[in-house]
Chain A
């Protein structure tokens, strides 16, 4: 009798302690508060709205509803780790931290726990090497791809020869901002340009010294790896000193409406790389309108639709959902585990046809992941701000990064990481 009671209690306790397995759980480490909230909100809204669309329109993914677990990080690395620890036991399938700092902290943790991290266009670039980073993905393009794409665009502008030109990198003085330096240094050796490095301390509210330096040394082009207020101030200061805005190119995290609107007409002509297309002229918006917005189920205050960062949130969710479908297809089950999710991500292939079928024709680049390649195809476009129309216009087609340089750097950096952490290469 006593034993039976104990067994019953143990069974109840176990059931209560085990993760809820009824839904496909997607944690959203968002930041709706703090200095970076203006960027965190549209991304989180886009991510949430796409998951809502899956439930409302399709009844979930493969018949299993999605469950979004939103946790506020405030773009604070420590809080991000807390959010990870608080949600991983809920059956989390994939983490998208939207912060390079948080990503760096989660790489060893998620690798030990066996949960995939998707740092889409951010995070540790060498994580593109799936042979070393089994659980980390950064497709469809990495920071190093971004650096190479920017230099290629400059070469295009200069008729293919940038020898002797001076290119300045204005960067957030953090792990994120420092990411492209190695690539830009390698490319400088290859193409013969001079690289000026100009760091800006967090948060970047005051950049007078940096822009005086630019005014005095007159670089031909300025690249920017900024985030939050740093972007707005840099664009305003560039405009103030009369720097040619079409020679000022930001990474895709320095290219949202938030970054250019405060500078008004001064931001006209500013360029930024595009991880995916801007604008809202996609069929999926009709579905979102019908099943999410009109149904009163939009995330947040429902006023972020069609912005660059909202679209990016949608895109991140779309890629997570497609990886889930792929995992379900590979393993023949609807209720997948994080390990199955990793398999789905490694087998993910996005084509023009698949994007069109999802209502986002030509929105993102084509790419095909493998066990070895977690970094996508390394394609990006260049967009330019039209201040009078208040729109981003694409001015190039997809530009392929210089893989001959980047792959070697990725191999070198990931090999060092593998040696430091006693990781045996996989995918053999």
Chain B
């Protein structure tokens, strides 16, 4: 096979993997939007906060240590222990559940029946609050995240696939971290589908998603559902934070991964879990292939962000609700 074709295949595979990473972020948005009609502007910051909490717990960091030291003149930073990754993930997930309870109690409860734009504005406020709170709690330095996930190209795949091409082809490159991300995304999606289809709470969640008033009339607690949904979205944010944080370290920029999820949502639809996955894959492959075939050789490169939003825009023109989104019909 010609090397250029092999390179294109490699780019496609890596595009799919990158798409999975985008989908991980988009999933959190979809869950909350589906259940409450809120576009959660704070989803990216939730990923940052979850990852900061995970690293903080893992490293035995004292929360708010800078503040404590400044106020009391102490010099404490660490408890002196190191928590195993799995336990730290569980504890961080617990913190995200607590976060969901607090959000429901102090924000959402007071905004029931408000216009969606009000709820959206509330999540903007929440995002800014969380950014500062995360910094204050865990510090703003870049933290290394190590939960034992392997990184780097798969040497086995490189060696096996090298024979497909001639000189100048070095075998297919796939980052092992991306393979794990794909695995976790698949587990997450299957679990979420099973949860929503086969459990009582899941059915209640779907009822709320369909019609708040009708769900309330049959005795479903909207507040409890919101806590559950925000908790699940918090856990998804934790998974996204781990995957993205493993690449860049845990730092403020993690909150910007939300930017990569927006075109995915526009394309896949704001209310569909499969849409988030398929949308992510289309955006991932599309932007990578465009960069490889047209962007880098003819346009000077760095076309990925532009292409992702362009593609989403095209979908918006022809299918405003996205590929899998619910068609909005307003009855007069």
Contacts and interface: CB of A to CB of B under 8 A. Distances in A.
A296 B70 CA distance: 9
A258 B142 contact: yes
B146 A37 contact: no
B142 A209 contact: no
B137 to A, nearest CB: 13
B68 to A, nearest CB: 11
Contacts of A264: 144, 146
Contact of B260 (A33, A41, A205, A261): A205
Contact of A205 (B73, B143, B144, B253): B253
Interface string B49-70: 0000000000000000010011
Interface in A202-250: 203, 205-206, 208-210, 212-213, 215-216, 218, 228-229, 232-233, 236-237, 239-242
B51 to A, nearest CB: 12
Contacts of B139: 301
A216 B14 CA distance: 13
A210 B295 CA distance: 11
A89 interface: no
Nearest to B291: A209
Contacts of B248: 205, 229, 232-233, 236, 262
Contact of B153 (A199, A209, A213, A240): A240
Interface string A337-381: 000000000000000000000000000000000000000000000
A198 interface: yes
Nearest to A234: B248
Contacts of B244: 205
B301 A212 contact: no
A14 to B, nearest CB: 39
Interface in B275-304: 287-288, 291-292, 295-296, 300-302, 304
A215 B296 contact: no
A44 to B, nearest CB: 12
Contacts of B151: 236, 239-240, 266
A229 B288 contact: no
Interface residues of A, number: 41
Contacts, number: 122
Contacts of B161: none
A167 interface: no
B251 interface: yes
A79 to B, nearest CB: 15
Given A205-B244, A205-B256, A261 B144 contact: yes
A41 B144 contact: no
Contacts of B132: 33
B178 to A, nearest CB: 8
Contacts of A37: 135, 140, 252
Contacts of B70: 301
B249 A232 contact: yes
B249 A262 contact: yes
Contacts of A215: 170, 173
A203 B255 CA distance: 11
A391 interface: no
Contact of B73 (A206, A241, A296): A296
Interface in B237-288: 244, 247-249, 251-257, 260, 287-288
A208 B18 contact: yes
Most chain B Cβ neighbours within 10 Å, of A198, A201, A209, A262:
A209
B69 A301 contact: yes
A286 to B, nearest CB: 20
Contacts of B146: 264
Contacts of B253: 35, 203, 205, 228-229
B305 interface: yes
Interface string A30-41: 001111011001
Interface in B21-36: 21
A76 interface: no
Most chain A Cβ neighbours within 10 Å, of B10, B21, B168, B252:
B252
B292 A258 contact: no
Nearest to A233: B248
A266 B252 CA distance: 22
A63 to B, nearest CB: 31
Contact of B301 (A198, A208, A232, A241): A198
B142 A233 contact: no
Contacts of B15: 208
Given A38-B251, A301-B139, A197 B11 contact: no
Interface in B94-137: 131-132, 135
Contacts of B141: 38, 41, 258
A203 B256 contact: yes
B140 A209 contact: no
Given A200-B302, A209-B292, A239-B152, A216 B7 contact: yes
A32 B254 CA distance: 16
A173 interface: yes
Contacts of B152: 239-240, 242, 266
A32 B140 contact: yes
Interface of B: 7, 10-11, 14-15, 17-18, 21, 66, 69-70, 73, 131-132, 135, 139-146, 151-153, 168, 170, 173, 175, 244, 247-249, 251-257, 260, 287-288, 291-292, 295-296, 300-302, 304-305
12 contacts: A33-B132, A173-B302, A197-B300, A198-B301, A205-B254, A208-B18, A213-B292, A216-B10, A229-B253, A236-B248, A242-B153, A262-B145
Given A201-B305, A208-B18, A209-B295, 8 more contacts: A38-B252, A199-B302, A212-B11, A228-B253, A241-B173, A258-B141, A258-B142, A262-B249
Interface of A: 32-35, 37-38, 41, 173, 197-201, 203, 205-206, 208-210, 212-213, 215-216, 218, 228-229, 232-233, 236-237, 239-242, 258, 261-262, 264, 266, 296, 301
Closest 5 CB pairs of A and B: A262-B249, A229-B253, A199-B302, A301-B66, A35-B253
